Structure 1
Amino acid sequence: MSEQATHRHRRPTRNGIGQWQLQLPKEVFLLSPTRTTTVLLTAGLVTLLGVPGAAAAEAAPSTLYVNRAAANCSDGGPGSSAVPFCSITKAAKVVEPGQTVWVDTAIGHYKESVTIDRSGEPGKPITFDIIPAEPDPETGEVTENYWTDGLTISGASHVVVRGLATDDGIRVHGSTDVALDGIGNGWGTSHGLVVGGGSEDVRVTRSRLHSARVEGGSRNTMFGRNTFFAQEGLQSAEVVDAPGTVLTNNTVYGGCGEAIGVSGGSSGSKLFNNLIYPHTYCGNSELFRAIGVTESAAAGTAADYNLITGRHGTTSPVATPYQWAGTGYKTQAAFTAATGQGVHDIVLPSRDGVGASENGSPTVDSGDPTAPGVLPTDIYGRPTADDPRVPNTGRDGGWIDRGAEETQDRLSMVWSYVSQNNWAPVGTEVGVNITTDSNWESALTYHVDFGDGTAPVVGKKNFVEHVYSSPGVYDVKTKVVTAVGREVEGSTRTTKVTAPGVLTADFTATPVLPTTIDTGNRLAPMTVRIDTPGATVAPWRVGSQKVDFGDGTSSSRKGLEKVEHAYKTPGTYKVTVSLTDVQGAQSTVSKTVQVDYAPSGYVATEPLRLLDTRTTNTPIKGGSARPVALVGWGVPDYGLSRSVSAVVLNVTVTDATEDTHLTVWPSGQSRPATSNVNIARGATSSNTVTVPVGADGKIQAQLNAGKASLIVDVVGYYQPNVGERFSPLTPTRVTDTRTSGGALGGGKTRTVKVAGVNGIPADAEAVALNLTGTGATQPAHVIAYPDPAKRPATSNLNVEPGKDKSNQAIVPVGPNGTITLFTNSGSTHLVLDAVGYYGKDGKALFTPVVPKRLADTRATGKVAPGATTTVSGLPANALGAVLNVTATDSTGPGFLTVYGFGGKLPGASSLNTLPGVTVPNHVTTPVGTGGKVSIFNSHGGPNHVITDLLGYFTQG
């Protein structure tokens, strides 16, 4: 079969036209209207539809294609799949014996009336077949398209036409050995199909026609497994002067006259296994006759095993179901007694409950399987099936149904369950239960393959037991076979066979880390997976599992399974797992689990404002925590990964009603004894803050006292397995406008080279800078940003006249390794010191911590001018640290410098001190040996120094 032909079988149509011919059986049959038997032929002989057998196939006949929608179709071309004909008429004029013409019907109506007047040869018919339209992807339906306006087969022989639908009539005239299968037509003619002109051996099968007429001396015409829908006043099947006509297993919806009429010289006709209804629109059922045979046609004509009904919902019998040789008969008994015909006919007053799909329908298994013209499949291509629910009342115990449709098992779904001991030791019986939606359960055969190399169990029981001989995990596969050999597979199930033993609970605890920037569900930091299936020894299936996470929460499951839990606070937790199996055995195990934040890379973002209480007139108040949501359901998309573990913020406090300080910490945790921003009454102060994000995607901010407005800007975040690594630097001066370029004026910008200089590689992604403003002429704010064309509406430093103020900023690197500086008013000198960079060749990952106080000289004494204090308590393997360093109780202006313990004092500052003012600053610094840093106090006067840890860097 050609590739195109193979493709055709995947695309049936909705209204049945073309559908049933897609499912034809492989068997081939010769149907002789003059005989009462069906003879099975071997390959190489003529098939029912004239398809060449194996011997003919060896000749490899060429194939023609028709597709009027193809852009390159041409009736002057070769008719190949690459260059098809545009019209069916062209193909009909050139088709040769043994060739098949494939007509693509996806484009709908071919507006032409086609005439086939060329002939095939015995065993090498000419064949016309269709490539149906593709189903609608949403509904699965196919648009009802007509092939042509009409079709005429004239003076031809050995012709096969499949799947044809016309909106006008089909005519077969003076032709021999013609097979029409799966055809149909519209309502635009007096008769949908006319066979005449002395045609012989015309076979019409599995088709839907509104009516048919055989006339003009045509001989041996056969109708099998068709449906007829006659218009009012027409006979559904009219046979006139057509001897040897056979109508077997058709469903006939008659008009208000005769449903099947045989007249003239139509002797020797056969009417068997037909299901005949009056049409529902026929108002006067007195006019309806199911079968009419005139005296001139009665010789040799036979009728039996037909079923005749009245209209829907009636109780009165059909007035005159038979008219035979000029006499009408009101009952089947009278008809049989007078003519000897219809011995096994059934006549019912109503069509209710008669359809093939109705349970207990009298059509089921009651026909004559030896009737002339019997087909092995019904109008849908389904095989003859023995319904086990009803007795076989057909001839000689046969089970063919009456009418065009064969009742089938509706089996479509199979459900399989390992319902007994799906997890058990070797030697235990494992049970598999199979259920279906079959309505013929008693005729089903069940197949169960237990997956261990043993032979599948085949039988009539839907519950099967098996004993495995060795441990393992086995796939159990099932299938169900219907009475007609149709197979439906069930879902594959798994059974676990274990070695005998005792239930022993165990588990592993591992961090669950994001692997990409997450735009979907949030994976909270400090999420831990408790894996019991991978560690527990469980000979029997575990029925219940409880995990106590050691933080006051627990999880219960009905079976053994992994569970994940997000801890709110780092720490050491006692995790306890308690198991009970289906045999009642119990086992408990406890382990200590260390929970902490994971080392993370840095992702720089465009500066973005998260909160400004000035715009909502909702100042923060002392003693009351203000939550700030960064990620989670209902939170605006700030451009952060939903699995962020820590954020870098610029936090500004303004309009304070009294001297106070602000603390920022992760949501879900207790407020730490640290501070991030210190603010004097009526002043404005800002600081960079690095803080972990709580399990709920939020942080908390709280004033110690009074009221103030709070502004929070996000500049970047940390997350495991994404972002850039950090390399700390000994503080290095990048620029100082006091010695180069002069003060930065209000509304002006200045570009500063930060990458490709001072030990910072040119491809650095972001630079950590200490930004100091001095000599300001007006209160103003300073912004440091990467793209000179995109200045953000955020700030990094607030300056005041007469005060040197510092703030650390992490700024993405802009064009050509630069950043841009801007101040909004007045003028100010700016000093920039680089303390590290983030990039592809960075050395370290960042581990955030809950803000933690490392040192406070208020308990040990001030740091004198020119003196250094050492701060310890950092991990010994830390390469760098993020600190919040606060200078307080200062007696004179000066600065502090933070650097790695044991290193050389750099010529740069980390924090500027002011007399009588508490000044904090976010400091990123290298860490020296032993996990220590040094803090040097310049000449300004003695200072108390408070050092809080926000996180640290370790080798990645």
Structure 2
Amino acid sequence: MDPSTAEASGAEVFSSSADRTVRGTGPTAHSQATSAADTQTPLAVALDSWGTSAHGMLVYSTFSGAEGPLSVAIAWGDGTTDTVTADAAEPLVSKHPYTEVGQYTITVTVTDPTTNTQAVNKVTVKTLGSDFTPHAPLRLLDTRNGTGQAMGKVPAYGSTSVKITGNGTIPDAVTAVVLNLTVTNTTGSGHIIAAGSGRPTPETSSINYGPGETVPNLVIMPVGSDGRVNLHNVGWESVDLIADVTGYFTAAASSGYASLPPTRFVDTREGRGTAKGQVAGQTAFGVQIAGVGGVPKGATAVSLNVTVTNPREAGHLTVYPSGQAAPTASNLNFTAGQTVANSVIVPVGPDGRIMVRNGAWQPTDVVIDVNGYYTPASQAAYVPSWWGPARMVDTRQTGSPLAARDYMHLLDAPNIEAHVLNATVTNTTGAGFLSVAPDPNSREQYENGTATRPTRPVASNLNWTAGKTAANLVQASPADNGMVAFWNQGWENVDLIIDYFGYYGTN
């Protein structure tokens, strides 16, 4: 891949042209700037560089002013240097994995042994991957009371934006943000599209809603150059929107991600992880996260799927780090008798615990499945999709719904810690739930007919009832061969829509 091909694919290319070369006469000679007064074409090197993975970087060196073999030293800016012999007539392609995400200055030193001349050029680069920094839940937008914008609903087919940077402890250099979005006071049906400011509006959805519903969903969105995320109301009626932040990503070493097989930490129906019995209204209980069930001590945040079931009245659930008062932010909204799930990424308190508060006045059951965690020692960094959110699957268009009690295999992407997706189920004729789990089969096994049916998972990612469209963020961990299985755990066929946001990668 050359620089033009990299740009066409959407990669950010960092360049330093040949006229920025500094040269000298010999490896240890005093360097001087290239001058137009030189009587011959001076030895020079042009640099183009772009990220190849979360931590990986490629530098494309093009030489001029030489004919024979060259000695080239690439100092990657992290204390490591590669020395190779290159053909002056051919570009040199060099790759390097950084241990930590961040910004680095690559220095390329070229020596022509024939003329005893040396050329040096530098380019400053930034890794594709970003690390996560937890943030105490903070409300950034509430159109009902004027938080973050003038009070008033978002009009039909209108939009608003959320200012991310400068709020709380969120810095300017943010690449992506974790937001819990909630749509409420709806009088019609529609959906909400989230996108980084300054980017085209994608043909995806983040929340689907119907009249009279209050619906939350978690999103991980790129942040525009103005520090904002745009929210588009694709519906014929106005709606209120709420946005709560729980963390952000930057290209600076912080916390990486590590996935876990979906693990049930809490089920109040059977007394797992807490006392048996429904959580009383207006009360909270603590859950030990760090040091339990594969989550190490020192975890800064945890990725959960939280489900409310058997609620006796409408209300909301708030998940927050221990050691602080319950915030005004909500993670999950429900009505009486409803079973509803939502993804949650929440900081872990200093004692390794999180708190779960039932904001209703009546009791409800709570189920919590852990699917990953963030620690400074974890290496997987987040890489947003180059083109922004993109629709990957829509069974409505193929005419092949996901069959009852069956699964669909997707992705085939090895060396990925987890994929970040939004899963939507629609055209439902009964109740059910969606499970997303690693698939031990390879694509080759499916193609040659040797694949075996995976073990049916237990944890749920998305719950639905007849006639409802439901969506949820999924941080899907693949098997070693890269495959992920999406299970319809209901007794009727459903249509499945999957929108791709990005991935966590380690190399």
**TM class by smaller structure:** 0.7 to 0.9
Quote the residue 2:381 is aligned against.
845
Quote the residue 1:723 is aligned against.
254
> Among 858, 869, 890, which residue is 2:428 paired with?
890
Q: Secondary structure at the match of 1:615?
A: coil
- Amino acid corresponding to residue 712 of structure 1 in structure 2: A
Q: Secondary structure at the match of 1:816?
A: coil
Whether the 8 Å contact between 2:286 and 2:322 is mirrored in structure 1 is no
CA distance in 2, matches of 1:787, 1:743: 20
For residue 530 of structure 1, report the CA deviation from its aligned partner: 11
1:952 and 2:503 are equivalent in the alignment: yes
For residue 505 of structure 1, report the CA deviation from its aligned partner: 8.5
Quote the residue 1:774 is aligned against.
309
Q: Secondary structure at the match of 1:802?
A: coil
Quote the residue 2:72 is aligned against.
none
Whether the 8 Å contact between 1:472 and 1:496 is mirrored in structure 2 is no
For residue 831 of structure 1, report the CA deviation from its aligned partner: 0.3
When residues 499 and 684 of structure 1 are mapped into structure 2, their CA distance, relative to the original with a 3 A threshold, is same
Quote the residue 1:662 is aligned against.
192
For residue 879 of structure 1, report the CA deviation from its aligned partner: 2.1
Quote the residue 2:162 is aligned against.
628
1:908 and 2:459 are equivalent in the alignment: yes
CA distance in 2, matches of 1:640, 1:529: 30
For residue 788 of structure 1, report the CA deviation from its aligned partner: 4.2
Whether the 8 Å contact between 1:865 and 1:937 is mirrored in structure 2 is yes
Whether the 8 Å contact between 1:730 and 1:906 is mirrored in structure 2 is no
User: Which range is displaced more, 839-848 or 749-758?
Assistant: 839-848
1:935 and 2:496 are equivalent in the alignment: no
Whether the 8 Å contact between 1:786 and 1:818 is mirrored in structure 2 is yes
> Among 681, 704, 712, which residue is 2:243 paired with?
712
CA distance in 1, matches of 2:155, 2:482: 37
- Amino acid corresponding to residue 247 of structure 2 in structure 1: G
Aligned length: 400
1:814-825 matches, cutoff 5 A:
814-825=349-360
1:90-489 matches, cutoff 5 A:
none
For residue 474 of structure 1, report the CA deviation from its aligned partner: 6.4
Which whole-Å deviations, capped at 9, do the CAs of 1:235-266 have from their partners, x for residues lacking one? xxxxxxxxxxxxxxxxxxxxxxxxxxxxxxxx
Quote the residue 1:868 is aligned against.
407
For residue 671 of structure 1, report the CA deviation from its aligned partner: 0.8
For residue 822 of structure 1, report the CA deviation from its aligned partner: 0.4
CA distance in 2, matches of 1:671, 1:596: 26
For residue 659 of structure 1, report the CA deviation from its aligned partner: 0.6
Q: Secondary structure at the match of 1:704?
A: strand
Whether the 8 Å contact between 2:281 and 2:363 is mirrored in structure 1 is yes
Which whole-Å deviations, capped at 9, do the CAs of 1:641-677 have from their partners, x for residues lacking one? 2111110000000012211100101111111111011
When residues 663 and 649 of structure 1 are mapped into structure 2, their CA distance, relative to the original with a 3 A threshold, is same
CA distance in 2, matches of 1:637, 1:888: 36
CA distance in 2, matches of 1:944, 1:851: 20
CA distance in 2, matches of 1:929, 1:676: 29
When residues 690 and 596 of structure 1 are mapped into structure 2, their CA distance, relative to the original with a 3 A threshold, is farther
1:879 and 2:425 are equivalent in the alignment: no
When residues 904 and 718 of structure 1 are mapped into structure 2, their CA distance, relative to the original with a 3 A threshold, is farther
Whether the 8 Å contact between 1:597 and 1:848 is mirrored in structure 2 is no
- Amino acid corresponding to residue 921 of structure 1 in structure 2: N
In the alignment, structure 1 segments of 5+ residues that lack a partner are 1-422, 427-451, 453-467, 476-493, 513-524, 539-594
Whether the 8 Å contact between 1:854 and 1:871 is mirrored in structure 2 is no
When residues 537 and 796 of structure 1 are mapped into structure 2, their CA distance, relative to the original with a 3 A threshold, is farther
CA distance in 1, matches of 2:490, 2:34: 78
For residue 529 of structure 1, report the CA deviation from its aligned partner: 13
1:526-537 matches, cutoff 5 A:
none
- Amino acid corresponding to residue 382 of structure 2 in structure 1: F
- Amino acid corresponding to residue 841 of structure 1 in structure 2: A
| Higher strand proportion | 2
Quote the residue 1:201 is aligned against.
none
Q: Secondary structure at the match of 2:351?
A: helix
Q: Secondary structure at the match of 1:827?
A: coil
> Among 173, 176, 179, which residue is 1:649 paired with?
179
Q: Report sequence identity in percent.
A: 32
CA distance in 2, matches of 1:660, 1:597: 37
When residues 729 and 531 of structure 1 are mapped into structure 2, their CA distance, relative to the original with a 3 A threshold, is closer
CA distance in 2, matches of 1:729, 1:901: 14
Of structures 1 and 2, the one with the larger relative CO (CA 8 A, separation 6+) is 2
- Amino acid corresponding to residue 268 of structure 2 in structure 1: T
CA distance in 1, matches of 2:60, 2:419: 34
User: If the length of structure 2 is used for normalisation, what is the TM-score?
Assistant: 0.72
Quote the residue 2:470 is aligned against.
919
When residues 505 and 792 of structure 1 are mapped into structure 2, their CA distance, relative to the original with a 3 A threshold, is same
Quote the residue 2:297 is aligned against.
762
When residues 696 and 685 of structure 1 are mapped into structure 2, their CA distance, relative to the original with a 3 A threshold, is same
Which whole-Å deviations, capped at 9, do the CAs of 1:895-927 have from their partners, x for residues lacking one? 110011226443211111211010000111211
Which whole-Å deviations, capped at 9, do the CAs of 1:722-775 have from their partners, x for residues lacking one? 221111111110010111121111111111122211111122111111000011
Which whole-Å deviations, capped at 9, do the CAs of 1:267-309 have from their partners, x for residues lacking one? xxxxxxxxxxxxxxxxxxxxxxxxxxxxxxxxxxxxxxxxxxx
Quote the residue 1:830 is aligned against.
366
For residue 508 of structure 1, report the CA deviation from its aligned partner: 1.8
Quote the residue 2:39 is aligned against.
500
When residues 472 and 771 of structure 1 are mapped into structure 2, their CA distance, relative to the original with a 3 A threshold, is same
Whether the 8 Å contact between 2:195 and 2:201 is mirrored in structure 1 is yes
In the alignment, structure 2 segments of 5+ residues that lack a partner are 1-19, 67-124, 441-453
Whether the 8 Å contact between 1:768 and 1:834 is mirrored in structure 2 is yes
Whether the 8 Å contact between 1:473 and 1:496 is mirrored in structure 2 is no
CA distance in 2, matches of 1:597, 1:888: 38
CA distance in 2, matches of 1:827, 1:954: 41
When residues 535 and 629 of structure 1 are mapped into structure 2, their CA distance, relative to the original with a 3 A threshold, is farther
CA distance in 2, matches of 1:495, 1:788: 60
Whether the 8 Å contact between 1:473 and 1:497 is mirrored in structure 2 is no
When residues 625 and 474 of structure 1 are mapped into structure 2, their CA distance, relative to the original with a 3 A threshold, is same
Quote the residue 1:637 is aligned against.
167
Whether the 8 Å contact between 2:404 and 2:488 is mirrored in structure 1 is yes
Whether the 8 Å contact between 1:673 and 1:853 is mirrored in structure 2 is yes
Q: Over aligned residue pairs, what C-alpha RMSD do you find?
A: 3.4
Whether the 8 Å contact between 1:604 and 1:766 is mirrored in structure 2 is yes
Whether the 8 Å contact between 2:34 and 2:42 is mirrored in structure 1 is no
When residues 914 and 905 of structure 1 are mapped into structure 2, their CA distance, relative to the original with a 3 A threshold, is same
CA distance in 2, matches of 1:639, 1:596: 22
CA distance in 2, matches of 1:943, 1:627: 33
For residue 833 of structure 1, report the CA deviation from its aligned partner: 0.3
Q: Greater Rg, structure 1 or structure 2? A: 1
Quote the residue 2:205 is aligned against.
675
1:605 and 2:141 are equivalent in the alignment: no
Whether the 8 Å contact between 2:427 and 2:467 is mirrored in structure 1 is yes
CA distance in 2, matches of 1:914, 1:596: 45
- Amino acid corresponding to residue 720 of structure 1 in structure 2: A
Quote the residue 1:700 is aligned against.
230
When residues 531 and 618 of structure 1 are mapped into structure 2, their CA distance, relative to the original with a 3 A threshold, is farther
CA distance in 2, matches of 1:793, 1:883: 27
When residues 904 and 643 of structure 1 are mapped into structure 2, their CA distance, relative to the original with a 3 A threshold, is farther
Q: Secondary structure at the match of 2:218?
A: strand
User: If the length of structure 1 is used for normalisation, what is the TM-score?
Assistant: 0.39
Whether the 8 Å contact between 1:508 and 1:531 is mirrored in structure 2 is yes
Q: Secondary structure at the match of 2:364?
A: strand
- Amino acid corresponding to residue 941 of structure 1 in structure 2: E
For residue 876 of structure 1, report the CA deviation from its aligned partner: 3.2
Whether the 8 Å contact between 1:730 and 1:925 is mirrored in structure 2 is no
CA distance in 2, matches of 1:597, 1:697: 19
CA distance in 2, matches of 1:868, 1:501: 67
When residues 691 and 537 of structure 1 are mapped into structure 2, their CA distance, relative to the original with a 3 A threshold, is farther
CA distance in 1, matches of 2:424, 2:322: 32
Q: Secondary structure at the match of 2:492?
A: coil
CA distance in 1, matches of 2:247, 2:314: 27
